[in-house]
Structure 1
Amino acid sequence: MGRLVLRFLAVIAALATSAAPAAAQGLGKGPLVLAAASLQEAMNAAADRWSALGHARPVVSFAASSALARQIEAHAPADLFVSADEDWMDDVAHAGLLAPRTRARLVTNALVIVAPAGSALRLYPAPGFPLARALGGGKLAMGDPDAVPAGRYGKAALERLGVWSQVQGQVARAENVRAALALIAHGAAPLGIVYATDARAEPGVRVVGVFPAGSHAPITYPLARLASSTHPDAEGFRRFLLSGQGKAIFRRFGFVAH
Protein backbone atom coordinates (compact mmCIF):
# COMPACT_ATOMS: atom_id res chain seq x y z
CA MET A 1 0.00 0.00 0.00
CA GLY A 2 2.84 2.34 0.89
CA ARG A 3 4.43 1.83 -2.53
CA LEU A 4 1.13 2.61 -4.27
CA VAL A 5 0.82 5.85 -2.35
CA LEU A 6 4.39 6.81 -3.24
CA ARG A 7 3.76 6.04 -6.92
CA PHE A 8 0.57 8.11 -6.85
CA LEU A 9 2.39 11.06 -5.32
CA ALA A 10 5.18 10.75 -7.88
CA VAL A 11 2.67 10.86 -10.74
CA ILE A 12 0.99 13.95 -9.27
CA ALA A 13 4.37 15.66 -8.89
CA ALA A 14 5.32 14.84 -12.48
CA LEU A 15 2.02 16.21 -13.79
CA ALA A 16 2.45 19.41 -11.77
CA THR A 17 6.00 19.84 -13.06
CA SER A 18 5.00 19.36 -16.71
CA ALA A 19 1.97 21.64 -16.35
CA ALA A 20 4.02 24.56 -15.01
CA PRO A 21 5.88 25.33 -18.27
CA ALA A 22 2.65 25.04 -20.24
CA ALA A 23 0.97 27.53 -17.92
CA ALA A 24 3.95 29.87 -18.20
CA GLN A 25 3.75 29.69 -21.99
CA GLY A 26 0.07 30.59 -21.77
CA LEU A 27 1.07 33.72 -19.90
CA GLY A 28 3.41 34.76 -22.75
CA LYS A 29 4.12 38.32 -23.75
CA GLY A 30 1.49 40.42 -25.42
CA PRO A 31 1.88 42.16 -28.78
CA LEU A 32 4.81 44.52 -29.28
CA VAL A 33 3.66 48.12 -29.73
CA LEU A 34 5.98 50.82 -31.08
CA ALA A 35 4.53 54.11 -29.85
CA ALA A 36 5.46 57.80 -30.02
CA ALA A 37 7.26 59.04 -26.90
CA SER A 38 4.45 61.45 -26.00
CA LEU A 39 2.05 58.52 -25.47
CA GLN A 40 3.90 57.00 -22.49
CA GLU A 41 1.39 57.45 -19.68
CA ALA A 42 -1.74 56.89 -21.77
CA MET A 43 -0.45 53.87 -23.67
CA ASN A 44 0.83 52.21 -20.50
CA ALA A 45 -2.56 52.77 -18.88
CA ALA A 46 -4.27 51.23 -21.92
CA ALA A 47 -1.91 48.24 -21.79
CA ASP A 48 -2.68 47.80 -18.08
CA ARG A 49 -6.41 47.88 -18.78
CA TRP A 50 -6.07 45.31 -21.59
CA SER A 51 -4.15 43.08 -19.19
CA ALA A 52 -6.86 43.50 -16.54
CA LEU A 53 -9.36 42.17 -19.08
CA GLY A 54 -7.50 38.87 -19.10
CA HIS A 55 -4.98 39.31 -21.91
CA ALA A 56 -1.19 39.19 -21.83
CA ARG A 57 0.02 42.77 -21.29
CA PRO A 58 1.33 44.39 -24.49
CA VAL A 59 5.03 45.21 -24.56
CA VAL A 60 5.34 48.91 -25.41
CA SER A 61 8.48 50.57 -26.75
CA PHE A 62 8.54 54.38 -26.81
CA ALA A 63 10.73 56.62 -28.98
CA ALA A 64 10.47 59.38 -31.56
CA SER A 65 8.13 58.39 -34.40
CA SER A 66 11.02 58.87 -36.83
CA ALA A 67 13.19 56.35 -34.97
CA LEU A 68 10.33 53.85 -34.74
CA ALA A 69 9.50 54.15 -38.44
CA ARG A 70 13.14 53.48 -39.31
CA GLN A 71 13.14 50.40 -37.08
CA ILE A 72 10.06 49.10 -38.88
CA GLU A 73 11.60 49.80 -42.28
CA ALA A 74 14.67 47.85 -41.12
CA HIS A 75 12.26 44.95 -40.44
CA ALA A 76 12.53 45.01 -36.65
CA PRO A 77 9.82 42.70 -35.23
CA ALA A 78 6.69 44.51 -33.99
CA ASP A 79 2.91 44.26 -34.15
CA LEU A 80 1.47 47.78 -33.91
CA PHE A 81 2.78 51.26 -34.71
CA VAL A 82 1.40 54.51 -33.29
CA SER A 83 3.01 57.61 -34.81
CA ALA A 84 2.75 61.23 -33.64
CA ASP A 85 2.19 62.37 -37.21
CA GLU A 86 0.83 61.11 -40.50
CA ASP A 87 4.11 61.57 -42.42
CA TRP A 88 6.04 58.80 -40.66
CA MET A 89 3.07 56.46 -40.94
CA ASP A 90 2.95 57.34 -44.65
CA ASP A 91 6.61 56.32 -44.97
CA VAL A 92 5.88 52.91 -43.46
CA ALA A 93 2.77 52.54 -45.64
CA HIS A 94 4.68 53.40 -48.82
CA ALA A 95 7.20 50.69 -47.91
CA GLY A 96 4.31 48.20 -47.93
CA LEU A 97 4.73 47.39 -44.23
CA LEU A 98 1.19 48.05 -42.94
CA ALA A 99 -1.53 45.43 -42.75
CA PRO A 100 -4.29 46.44 -45.19
CA ARG A 101 -7.24 48.42 -43.83
CA THR A 102 -5.84 48.69 -40.28
CA ARG A 103 -4.72 52.33 -40.32
CA ALA A 104 -6.92 54.67 -38.28
CA ARG A 105 -6.69 57.96 -36.41
CA LEU A 106 -6.37 57.33 -32.68
CA VAL A 107 -6.18 60.78 -31.00
CA THR A 108 -5.14 64.40 -31.53
CA ASN A 109 -3.09 66.85 -29.48
CA ALA A 110 -2.14 70.53 -29.12
CA LEU A 111 1.21 72.36 -29.17
CA VAL A 112 2.39 74.58 -26.31
CA ILE A 113 5.37 76.54 -25.03
CA VAL A 114 6.57 75.53 -21.58
CA ALA A 115 8.99 76.97 -19.03
CA PRO A 116 10.29 75.65 -15.69
CA ALA A 117 7.51 75.43 -13.11
CA GLY A 118 8.73 78.49 -11.20
CA SER A 119 8.65 80.81 -14.22
CA ALA A 120 6.26 83.76 -14.20
CA LEU A 121 6.58 84.33 -17.95
CA ARG A 122 3.52 84.48 -20.19
CA LEU A 123 3.61 84.39 -23.99
CA TYR A 124 0.84 84.79 -26.56
CA PRO A 125 1.96 83.10 -29.79
CA ALA A 126 0.89 85.35 -32.67
CA PRO A 127 2.65 86.86 -35.69
CA GLY A 128 5.91 88.47 -34.53
CA PHE A 129 5.51 87.54 -30.84
CA PRO A 130 8.66 88.23 -28.72
CA LEU A 131 10.02 84.70 -28.38
CA ALA A 132 13.65 85.68 -28.96
CA ARG A 133 13.46 88.32 -26.23
CA ALA A 134 11.90 85.82 -23.83
CA LEU A 135 14.74 83.37 -24.49
CA GLY A 136 17.47 85.94 -23.85
CA GLY A 137 20.64 83.99 -24.48
CA GLY A 138 19.05 80.66 -23.52
CA LYS A 139 18.08 77.64 -25.59
CA LEU A 140 14.71 76.69 -27.04
CA ALA A 141 14.26 72.97 -26.37
CA MET A 142 12.26 71.03 -28.96
CA GLY A 143 12.29 67.77 -30.84
CA ASP A 144 14.67 67.76 -33.79
CA PRO A 145 12.78 69.84 -36.40
CA ASP A 146 14.24 67.73 -39.21
CA ALA A 147 12.76 64.45 -37.99
CA VAL A 148 10.78 64.46 -34.74
CA PRO A 149 7.06 65.26 -35.24
CA ALA A 150 6.86 67.68 -32.28
CA GLY A 151 9.86 69.53 -33.69
CA ARG A 152 8.34 69.63 -37.16
CA TYR A 153 5.08 71.04 -35.81
CA GLY A 154 7.02 73.55 -33.71
CA LYS A 155 9.16 74.77 -36.60
CA ALA A 156 6.09 75.07 -38.85
CA ALA A 157 4.29 77.15 -36.22
CA LEU A 158 7.26 79.47 -35.67
CA GLU A 159 7.68 79.91 -39.42
CA ARG A 160 3.99 80.67 -39.84
CA LEU A 161 4.23 83.27 -37.06
CA GLY A 162 7.38 84.80 -38.56
CA VAL A 163 9.81 84.18 -35.67
CA TRP A 164 11.72 81.03 -36.70
CA SER A 165 14.58 82.98 -38.26
CA GLN A 166 15.10 84.85 -34.98
CA VAL A 167 15.45 81.73 -32.80
CA GLN A 168 16.66 78.88 -35.03
CA GLY A 169 20.26 79.37 -33.89
CA GLN A 170 19.19 78.82 -30.27
CA VAL A 171 17.30 75.57 -30.79
CA ALA A 172 18.37 72.62 -28.63
CA ARG A 173 17.45 69.66 -30.85
CA ALA A 174 16.26 66.74 -28.73
CA GLU A 175 15.93 63.15 -29.93
CA ASN A 176 12.24 63.10 -28.96
CA VAL A 177 9.68 65.33 -27.32
CA ARG A 178 10.17 63.82 -23.85
CA ALA A 179 13.90 64.57 -24.02
CA ALA A 180 13.01 68.19 -24.82
CA LEU A 181 10.59 68.24 -21.91
CA ALA A 182 13.32 66.99 -19.55
CA LEU A 183 15.63 69.85 -20.56
CA ILE A 184 13.05 72.40 -19.39
CA ALA A 185 12.05 70.49 -16.27
CA HIS A 186 15.69 70.31 -15.17
CA GLY A 187 16.42 73.96 -15.92
CA ALA A 188 18.77 73.28 -18.85
CA ALA A 189 16.62 75.46 -21.14
CA PRO A 190 14.35 78.40 -20.23
CA LEU A 191 11.69 77.54 -22.82
CA GLY A 192 10.60 74.62 -24.92
CA ILE A 193 7.95 73.47 -27.37
CA VAL A 194 6.10 70.26 -26.51
CA TYR A 195 2.63 68.77 -26.73
CA ALA A 196 -0.03 69.86 -24.26
CA THR A 197 -0.18 66.30 -22.88
CA ASP A 198 3.57 66.30 -22.19
CA ALA A 199 3.25 69.49 -20.15
CA ARG A 200 0.40 67.93 -18.21
CA ALA A 201 2.51 64.85 -17.40
CA GLU A 202 5.52 66.80 -16.05
CA PRO A 203 5.11 68.79 -12.79
CA GLY A 204 8.48 70.45 -13.37
CA VAL A 205 7.11 72.66 -16.15
CA ARG A 206 4.24 75.06 -16.71
CA VAL A 207 2.51 76.12 -19.91
CA VAL A 208 3.35 79.74 -20.78
CA GLY A 209 1.85 79.85 -24.26
CA VAL A 210 -0.48 77.90 -26.55
CA PHE A 211 -0.02 77.87 -30.32
CA PRO A 212 -3.09 78.65 -32.41
CA ALA A 213 -4.35 75.49 -34.10
CA GLY A 214 -4.01 77.14 -37.52
CA SER A 215 -0.29 77.80 -37.08
CA HIS A 216 0.64 74.17 -37.84
CA ALA A 217 -0.82 71.03 -39.37
CA PRO A 218 -3.30 69.10 -37.19
CA ILE A 219 -1.45 66.97 -34.63
CA THR A 220 -2.84 63.50 -35.24
CA TYR A 221 -1.73 60.08 -34.02
CA PRO A 222 -2.39 57.34 -36.58
CA LEU A 223 -2.43 53.70 -35.46
CA ALA A 224 -1.91 50.62 -37.64
CA ARG A 225 -1.09 46.93 -37.42
CA LEU A 226 2.08 45.91 -39.20
CA ALA A 227 1.96 43.44 -42.07
CA SER A 228 4.59 41.27 -40.39
CA SER A 229 2.58 40.92 -37.17
CA THR A 230 1.78 37.35 -36.12
CA HIS A 231 0.63 37.90 -32.54
CA PRO A 232 -2.96 36.65 -32.04
CA ASP A 233 -3.80 39.59 -29.77
CA ALA A 234 -2.46 42.34 -32.04
CA GLU A 235 -5.71 43.05 -33.86
CA GLY A 236 -7.73 42.77 -30.67
CA PHE A 237 -5.55 45.36 -28.90
CA ARG A 238 -5.71 47.65 -31.94
CA ARG A 239 -9.48 47.52 -31.85
CA PHE A 240 -9.49 48.06 -28.08
CA LEU A 241 -7.41 51.25 -28.43
CA LEU A 242 -9.93 52.57 -30.97
CA SER A 243 -12.95 51.59 -28.88
CA GLY A 244 -14.88 53.91 -26.59
CA GLN A 245 -13.21 52.32 -23.58
CA GLY A 246 -9.75 52.75 -25.09
CA LYS A 247 -10.25 56.35 -26.14
CA ALA A 248 -11.60 57.23 -22.69
CA ILE A 249 -8.20 56.29 -21.31
CA PHE A 250 -6.46 58.70 -23.68
CA ARG A 251 -8.88 61.49 -22.82
CA ARG A 252 -7.96 61.03 -19.17
CA PHE A 253 -4.40 62.02 -20.07
CA GLY A 254 -5.43 65.12 -22.03
CA PHE A 255 -5.63 63.79 -25.60
CA VAL A 256 -8.60 64.57 -27.80
CA ALA A 257 -10.36 61.42 -28.99
CA HIS A 258 -13.52 61.53 -31.10
Structure 2
Amino acid sequence: MFRRLFLFWVLSVAFLLPAAAQPPLTVFAAASMREAMERIGTVFEEETGNRVVFSFAGTGTLARQVEAGAPADLFVSADVDWMDYVVEQDAVQADTVRPIASNALVLIGTADGPKVGLDAGDLETALNDGRMAIADPDTVPAGRYGKAALESLGLWQIVETRLAPMENVRIVLASVARGDTPLGLVYQTDAVIEPAVATLAEFPASAHPKIEYLAALTVDGSHPAAEPFLEFLQQPQAREILHSLGFLTDKMN
Protein backbone atom coordinates (compact mmCIF):
# COMPACT_ATOMS: atom_id res chain seq x y z
CA MET A 1 0.00 0.00 0.00
CA PHE A 2 2.82 2.41 0.89
CA ARG A 3 4.53 1.87 -2.43
CA ARG A 4 1.28 2.41 -4.31
CA LEU A 5 0.66 5.68 -2.45
CA PHE A 6 4.24 6.69 -3.12
CA LEU A 7 3.75 6.12 -6.85
CA PHE A 8 0.81 8.48 -7.05
CA TRP A 9 2.47 11.03 -4.76
CA VAL A 10 5.42 11.18 -7.14
CA LEU A 11 3.08 11.56 -10.09
CA SER A 12 1.11 14.37 -8.50
CA VAL A 13 4.21 16.31 -7.46
CA ALA A 14 6.35 15.74 -10.54
CA PHE A 15 3.91 16.54 -13.30
CA LEU A 16 3.99 20.30 -13.65
CA LEU A 17 2.20 20.11 -16.99
CA PRO A 18 -1.16 18.44 -17.62
CA ALA A 19 -0.69 14.84 -18.73
CA ALA A 20 -2.13 15.62 -22.16
CA ALA A 21 0.61 18.24 -22.67
CA GLN A 22 3.44 15.87 -21.74
CA PRO A 23 5.39 14.08 -24.43
CA PRO A 24 4.97 10.30 -24.23
CA LEU A 25 7.11 8.18 -21.96
CA THR A 26 9.40 6.09 -24.17
CA VAL A 27 10.31 2.54 -23.17
CA PHE A 28 12.80 0.34 -25.04
CA ALA A 29 11.94 -3.29 -24.24
CA ALA A 30 13.00 -6.79 -25.30
CA ALA A 31 10.85 -8.15 -28.13
CA SER A 32 9.65 -11.07 -26.01
CA MET A 33 7.90 -8.62 -23.68
CA ARG A 34 5.73 -6.96 -26.32
CA GLU A 35 2.28 -8.14 -25.18
CA ALA A 36 3.08 -7.78 -21.48
CA MET A 37 4.53 -4.29 -21.80
CA GLU A 38 1.70 -3.07 -24.00
CA ARG A 39 -0.87 -4.26 -21.46
CA ILE A 40 1.06 -2.77 -18.56
CA GLY A 41 1.42 0.49 -20.47
CA THR A 42 -2.33 0.62 -21.06
CA VAL A 43 -3.09 0.20 -17.35
CA PHE A 44 -0.48 2.81 -16.44
CA GLU A 45 -2.00 5.26 -18.92
CA GLU A 46 -5.49 4.66 -17.55
CA GLU A 47 -4.38 5.24 -13.97
CA THR A 48 -2.07 8.21 -14.53
CA GLY A 49 -3.12 9.79 -17.83
CA ASN A 50 0.44 9.58 -19.12
CA ARG A 51 0.93 8.06 -22.55
CA VAL A 52 3.54 5.33 -22.98
CA VAL A 53 5.16 4.36 -26.29
CA PHE A 54 7.37 1.33 -26.81
CA SER A 55 10.20 0.27 -29.08
CA PHE A 56 10.61 -3.52 -29.22
CA ALA A 57 13.64 -5.33 -30.63
CA GLY A 58 16.39 -7.73 -29.64
CA THR A 59 17.99 -6.71 -26.36
CA GLY A 60 21.43 -6.29 -27.91
CA THR A 61 20.10 -3.94 -30.57
CA LEU A 62 18.28 -1.84 -27.98
CA ALA A 63 21.28 -1.77 -25.65
CA ARG A 64 23.46 -0.37 -28.43
CA GLN A 65 20.82 2.26 -29.20
CA VAL A 66 20.58 3.28 -25.55
CA GLU A 67 24.36 3.45 -25.38
CA ALA A 68 24.31 5.76 -28.42
CA GLY A 69 21.88 8.12 -26.70
CA ALA A 70 18.60 7.08 -28.33
CA PRO A 71 15.61 8.93 -26.80
CA ALA A 72 14.51 6.25 -24.32
CA ASP A 73 13.40 6.89 -20.76
CA LEU A 74 13.53 3.25 -19.65
CA PHE A 75 15.34 0.16 -20.87
CA VAL A 76 14.03 -3.37 -20.28
CA SER A 77 16.62 -6.08 -20.92
CA ALA A 78 16.07 -9.82 -21.36
CA ASP A 79 19.29 -10.67 -19.58
CA VAL A 80 21.79 -9.52 -16.99
CA ASP A 81 24.76 -9.27 -19.37
CA TRP A 82 23.29 -6.56 -21.58
CA MET A 83 22.04 -4.60 -18.57
CA ASP A 84 25.54 -4.82 -17.07
CA TYR A 85 26.89 -3.55 -20.39
CA VAL A 86 24.75 -0.40 -20.47
CA VAL A 87 25.55 0.22 -16.79
CA GLU A 88 29.26 0.02 -17.59
CA GLN A 89 28.75 2.42 -20.49
CA ASP A 90 26.96 4.88 -18.16
CA ALA A 91 23.88 4.66 -20.37
CA VAL A 92 21.47 3.71 -17.57
CA GLN A 93 21.32 4.66 -13.93
CA ALA A 94 22.93 1.77 -12.07
CA ASP A 95 21.04 2.35 -8.84
CA THR A 96 17.68 2.00 -10.61
CA VAL A 97 18.20 -1.51 -12.07
CA ARG A 98 15.31 -3.74 -10.99
CA PRO A 99 14.50 -7.41 -11.77
CA ILE A 100 10.90 -7.69 -12.95
CA ALA A 101 10.38 -11.22 -14.30
CA SER A 102 11.92 -14.47 -15.45
CA ASN A 103 11.05 -17.00 -18.15
CA ALA A 104 11.67 -20.51 -19.48
CA LEU A 105 13.21 -21.72 -22.75
CA VAL A 106 11.39 -24.14 -25.05
CA LEU A 107 11.82 -26.04 -28.29
CA ILE A 108 9.01 -25.41 -30.78
CA GLY A 109 7.82 -26.89 -34.05
CA THR A 110 4.78 -26.42 -36.25
CA ALA A 111 1.48 -27.30 -34.61
CA ASP A 112 0.86 -30.17 -37.05
CA GLY A 113 4.45 -31.39 -37.12
CA PRO A 114 6.07 -34.47 -35.55
CA LYS A 115 6.65 -34.77 -31.81
CA VAL A 116 10.28 -34.11 -30.95
CA GLY A 117 12.16 -34.39 -27.68
CA LEU A 118 15.51 -33.15 -26.47
CA ASP A 119 17.26 -36.09 -28.05
CA ALA A 120 19.98 -36.15 -30.70
CA GLY A 121 18.17 -38.64 -32.90
CA ASP A 122 14.89 -36.76 -32.68
CA LEU A 123 16.53 -33.48 -33.62
CA GLU A 124 18.38 -34.94 -36.60
CA THR A 125 15.22 -36.58 -37.90
CA ALA A 126 13.06 -33.48 -37.41
CA LEU A 127 15.58 -31.14 -39.02
CA ASN A 128 16.22 -33.41 -42.00
CA ASP A 129 17.50 -30.89 -44.57
CA GLY A 130 16.11 -27.91 -42.64
CA ARG A 131 17.54 -25.61 -40.01
CA MET A 132 16.82 -24.75 -36.40
CA ALA A 133 15.78 -21.13 -35.92
CA ILE A 134 17.49 -19.43 -33.00
CA ALA A 135 17.98 -15.83 -31.91
CA ASP A 136 21.57 -14.88 -32.71
CA PRO A 137 23.66 -16.33 -29.84
CA ASP A 138 26.28 -13.60 -30.32
CA THR A 139 23.91 -10.70 -29.61
CA VAL A 140 20.51 -11.87 -28.37
CA PRO A 141 19.85 -13.26 -24.87
CA ALA A 142 17.44 -15.96 -26.07
CA GLY A 143 20.13 -17.26 -28.43
CA ARG A 144 22.73 -17.17 -25.68
CA TYR A 145 20.44 -19.13 -23.37
CA GLY A 146 19.68 -21.54 -26.20
CA LYS A 147 23.32 -22.21 -27.02
CA ALA A 148 24.12 -22.78 -23.34
CA ALA A 149 21.21 -25.22 -22.99
CA LEU A 150 22.14 -27.18 -26.12
CA GLU A 151 25.75 -27.39 -24.99
CA SER A 152 24.72 -28.50 -21.52
CA LEU A 153 22.56 -31.31 -22.93
CA GLY A 154 25.21 -32.44 -25.42
CA LEU A 155 23.13 -31.36 -28.42
CA TRP A 156 25.13 -28.40 -29.70
CA GLN A 157 27.31 -30.49 -32.01
CA ILE A 158 24.15 -31.90 -33.63
CA VAL A 159 22.74 -28.50 -34.60
CA GLU A 160 25.74 -26.14 -34.70
CA THR A 161 26.06 -26.25 -38.49
CA ARG A 162 22.30 -26.35 -39.02
CA LEU A 163 21.27 -23.14 -37.28
CA ALA A 164 19.39 -20.17 -38.71
CA PRO A 165 20.41 -17.22 -36.45
CA MET A 166 17.84 -14.44 -36.38
CA GLU A 167 17.56 -10.88 -35.13
CA ASN A 168 15.22 -11.58 -32.22
CA VAL A 169 13.06 -14.28 -30.72
CA ARG A 170 9.84 -13.07 -32.38
CA ILE A 171 11.38 -13.55 -35.81
CA VAL A 172 12.26 -17.09 -34.74
CA LEU A 173 8.65 -17.63 -33.70
CA ALA A 174 7.34 -16.34 -37.04
CA SER A 175 9.79 -18.47 -38.99
CA VAL A 176 8.58 -21.68 -37.36
CA ALA A 177 4.92 -20.64 -37.57
CA ARG A 178 5.27 -20.14 -41.34
CA GLY A 179 7.03 -23.48 -41.73
CA ASP A 180 10.24 -21.86 -42.98
CA THR A 181 12.20 -23.72 -40.31
CA PRO A 182 11.05 -27.00 -38.75
CA LEU A 183 12.31 -26.23 -35.25
CA GLY A 184 13.08 -23.16 -33.18
CA LEU A 185 14.13 -22.01 -29.72
CA VAL A 186 11.96 -19.38 -28.04
CA TYR A 187 10.71 -18.42 -24.59
CA GLN A 188 7.65 -20.22 -23.28
CA THR A 189 5.80 -16.90 -23.28
CA ASP A 190 6.38 -16.59 -27.03
CA ALA A 191 5.17 -20.10 -27.79
CA VAL A 192 1.80 -19.65 -26.06
CA ILE A 193 0.77 -16.65 -28.15
CA GLU A 194 1.22 -18.36 -31.54
CA PRO A 195 -1.38 -21.05 -32.35
CA ALA A 196 0.57 -22.19 -35.40
CA VAL A 197 3.39 -23.60 -33.25
CA ALA A 198 3.57 -26.33 -30.62
CA THR A 199 5.85 -26.54 -27.61
CA LEU A 200 7.78 -29.76 -28.08
CA ALA A 201 9.98 -29.66 -24.99
CA GLU A 202 11.04 -27.33 -22.18
CA PHE A 203 14.73 -27.02 -21.44
CA PRO A 204 15.68 -27.67 -17.81
CA ALA A 205 16.33 -24.43 -15.97
CA SER A 206 19.63 -25.93 -14.81
CA ALA A 207 20.82 -26.21 -18.43
CA HIS A 208 21.24 -22.48 -18.96
CA PRO A 209 21.78 -19.25 -17.00
CA LYS A 210 18.69 -17.91 -15.27
CA ILE A 211 16.47 -16.01 -17.69
CA GLU A 212 15.99 -12.68 -15.98
CA TYR A 213 14.35 -9.48 -17.22
CA LEU A 214 15.58 -6.23 -15.72
CA ALA A 215 14.44 -2.63 -16.09
CA ALA A 216 16.30 0.61 -15.46
CA LEU A 217 16.06 4.34 -16.04
CA THR A 218 18.31 5.68 -18.78
CA VAL A 219 20.83 8.40 -18.05
CA ASP A 220 19.51 10.66 -20.82
CA GLY A 221 15.81 10.17 -20.06
CA SER A 222 14.02 13.04 -18.36
CA HIS A 223 10.31 12.17 -18.43
CA PRO A 224 8.66 12.78 -15.03
CA ALA A 225 6.70 9.52 -15.38
CA ALA A 226 9.82 7.39 -15.86
CA GLU A 227 10.46 6.63 -12.20
CA PRO A 228 6.78 6.01 -11.42
CA PHE A 229 6.57 3.61 -14.38
CA LEU A 230 9.63 1.73 -13.14
CA GLU A 231 7.94 1.52 -9.75
CA PHE A 232 4.71 0.38 -11.39
CA LEU A 233 6.51 -2.55 -13.06
CA GLN A 234 7.02 -4.00 -9.58
CA GLN A 235 3.45 -3.51 -8.40
CA PRO A 236 0.83 -6.29 -8.12
CA GLN A 237 -1.10 -5.11 -11.20
CA ALA A 238 1.96 -5.35 -13.45
CA ARG A 239 3.03 -8.65 -11.94
CA GLU A 240 -0.43 -10.07 -12.49
CA ILE A 241 -0.24 -9.15 -16.18
CA LEU A 242 3.22 -10.69 -16.49
CA HIS A 243 2.09 -13.85 -14.73
CA SER A 244 -1.04 -14.13 -16.89
CA LEU A 245 1.18 -14.21 -19.99
CA GLY A 246 3.43 -16.93 -18.63
CA PHE A 247 6.23 -14.92 -17.09
CA LEU A 248 7.55 -16.02 -13.71
CA THR A 249 7.34 -13.32 -11.06
CA ASP A 250 6.72 -14.93 -7.66
CA LYS A 251 10.37 -15.05 -6.64
CA MET A 252 11.39 -11.68 -8.06
CA ASN A 253 12.44 -9.03 -5.57
Deviations along 1:11-70, one digit per CA (max 9) or x if unpaired, are xxxxxxxxxxxx998343331100000001000000011111132221110000000000
Match for residue 54 of structure 1?
48
Q: Secondary structure of 2:222's partner?
A: coil
Shift of 1:168: 1.1
Q: Distance in 2 between matches of 1:129 and 1:82?
A: 38
Q: For 1:253, which of 233, 245, 248 is the aligned residue? A: 245
Kept in 1: contact 2:20–2:49 (CA 8 A): no
Q: For 2:144, which of 152, 155, 160 is the aligned residue? A: 152
Kept in 1: contact 2:30–2:58 (CA 8 A): yes
Q: Secondary structure of 1:242's partner?
A: coil
Match for residue 101 of structure 1?
95
What are the ranges of 5 or more consecutive residues in structure 1 without an aligned counterpart?
A: 1-22
Q: Secondary structure of 1:114's partner?
A: strand
In the TM superposition, structure 1's runs of 4+ consecutive aligned residues that sit over 3 Å from their partners are none
CA 1:208/1:229 → structure 2, altered by over 3 Å: closer, same or farther?
A: same
Deviations along 1:59-103, one digit per CA (max 9) or x if unpaired, are 110000000000011111111000111000010000112224210
CA 1:129/1:96 → structure 2, altered by over 3 Å: closer, same or farther?
A: farther
Moved more, 51-60 or 195-204: 51-60
Residue identity (%): 44
Q: Distance in 2 between matches of 1:196 and 1:39?
A: 12
What are the ranges of 5 or more consecutive residues in structure 2 without an aligned counterpart?
A: 1-16
Indicate yes or no: 2:103 matched with 1:115: no
Shift of 1:117: 1.2
Match for residue 60 of structure 2?
66
Q: Distance in 2 between matches of 1:29 and 1:114?
A: 40
Larger radius of gyration: 1
Kept in 1: contact 2:175–2:181 (CA 8 A): yes
Kept in 1: contact 2:148–2:207 (CA 8 A): yes
Query: Which amino acid in the other structure matches residue 86 of structure 1?
Result: V
TM-score normalised to structure 2 length? 0.88
Kept in 2: contact 1:142–1:180 (CA 8 A): yes
Deviations along 1:142-185, one digit per CA (max 9) or x if unpaired, are 10111111111001111111111121111111100000110000
Indicate yes or no: 2:181 matched with 1:181: no
Match for residue 79 of structure 1?
73
CA 1:239/1:129 → structure 2, altered by over 3 Å: closer, same or farther?
A: farther
Matched residue pairs, number?
234
1:235-254 pair list within 5 angstroms: 235-254=227-246
Shift of 1:129: 6.2
Shift of 1:122: 3.2
Q: Distance in 2 between matches of 1:152 and 1:29?
A: 36
Q: Distance in 2 between matches of 1:29 and 1:129?
A: 55
Match for residue 211 of structure 1?
203
Indicate yes or no: 2:26 matched with 1:32: yes
Deviations along 1:119-157, one digit per CA (max 9) or x if unpaired, are 23131x36x564223211111001011111111100111
Q: Distance in 2 between matches of 1:114 and 1:78?
A: 33
Match for residue 165 of structure 1?
157
CA 1:237/1:24 → structure 2, altered by over 3 Å: closer, same or farther?
A: closer
Kept in 2: contact 1:141–1:174 (CA 8 A): yes
Moved more, 35-44 or 24-33: 24-33
TM-score normalised to structure 1 length? 0.87
